[in-house]
Chains A and B, each alone.
Chain A
Amino acid sequence: DTGVSQDPRHKITKRGQNVTFRCDPISEHNRLYWYRQTLGQGPEFLTYFQNEAQLEKSRLLSDRFSAERPKGSFSTLEIQRTEQGDSAMYLCASSFQGRGHEQYFGPGTRLTVT
């Protein structure tokens, strides 16, 4: 399967702990996006990369959140000092540079902060 993959699929952590999620995009895609989705809402944009460069960050991405894409392939999203409000589905998507609207999403990582 050559789709977008995310790991882990589920993560339960205690408040105050750090967590890191991984996303592997479709290999030919040079753009990679992170979104957050809470219950009853649509996905909310967090940040995106073009190759290894992080080009845009949402106001939602507080200083406890950091994303990297060091070699322009996979990406990691780290949340430090997790809070209960961080509980959500974290979605990763990828696209071709010239077709940024048509994003291919992974299955998501569901984070539960207790």
Chain B
Amino acid sequence: DQQVKQNSPSLSVQEGRISILNCDYTNSMFDYFLWYKKYPAEGPTFLISISSIKDKNEDGRFTVFLNKSAKHLSLHIVPSQPGDSAVYFCAADMNYGGSQGNLIFGKGTKLSVKP
């Protein structure tokens, strides 16, 4: 059973516009969420994260929003650039019991930013 779900396999956006990638989770024990970006033939790269005590975290063009009641998070990229074209993975973790690192990933969303 998928605990972290990315229901959109792909997303196409025009350069300069906003990209919104969505992620839902089912396990209420998750308390830390991350987004990773992956280019072909490379490993995933950490992008941005958010703790469950926050509802927003911003880093440059990237903002992650967390809605705990809906068990939903989203990544906003503004403005989108062609170099943002990649697969984006949502991941979740729980600190319960001191475990840090057993990340649960979604299936990914392939973002294409067209010039």
Chain A interface (Cβ within 8 Å of chain B)? 4, 31, 33, 40-45, 48, 56, 58, 91, 93, 95, 100-108
A12–B106 Cα gap in the complex (Å)? 27
- The answer to whether B91 has its CB under 8 Å from any CB of chain A is yes
Of all chain A residues, which has the CB nearest B101? A100
A48–B105 CB distance below 8 A:
no
Residues of B within 8 A of A93 (CB): 43
Residues of A within 8 A of B41 (CB): 107
Q: How far in angstroms is the closest Cβ of chain A from B71?
A: 17
Instruction: Using C-beta atoms within 8 Å of the partner chain, give the interface range for chain B.
Output: 20 to 34
Residues of A within 8 A of B101 (CB): 31, 33, 45, 48, 56, 95, 100-101, 103
Residues of B within 8 A of A104 (CB): 46
- If A42-B107, A107-B41 are given as contacts, then 6 extra A-B residue pairs at C-beta distance below 8 Å, sorted by A number, are A45-B101, A101-B32, A101-B49, A101-B93, A101-B103, A103-B46
Residues of B within 8 A of A102 (CB): 34, 46, 49
Q: How far in angstroms is the closest Cβ of chain A from B58?
A: 17
A101–B34 CB distance below 8 A:
yes
Q: How far in angstroms is the closest Cβ of chain A from B111?
A: 15
Residues of A within 8 A of B34 (CB): 101-102
Residues of A within 8 A of B32 (CB): 101
A79–B45 Cα gap in the complex (Å)? 26
Write 25 A-B pairs (CB below 8 A) sorted by A numbering.
Answer: A4-B43, A33-B101, A40-B107, A41-B107, A42-B4, A42-B89, A42-B107, A43-B103, A44-B105, A48-B102, A56-B101, A56-B102, A58-B102, A93-B43, A100-B93, A100-B100, A100-B101, A101-B32, A102-B46, A104-B46, A105-B36, A105-B44, A106-B43, A107-B42, A108-B43
- The answer to whether B20 has its CB under 8 Å from any CB of chain A is no
A102–B44 Cα gap in the complex (Å)? 11
Q: How far in angstroms is the closest Cβ of chain B from A72?
A: 16
A44–B103 Cα gap in the complex (Å)? 8
Residues of B within 8 A of A41 (CB): 107
A102–B100 Cα gap in the complex (Å)? 10
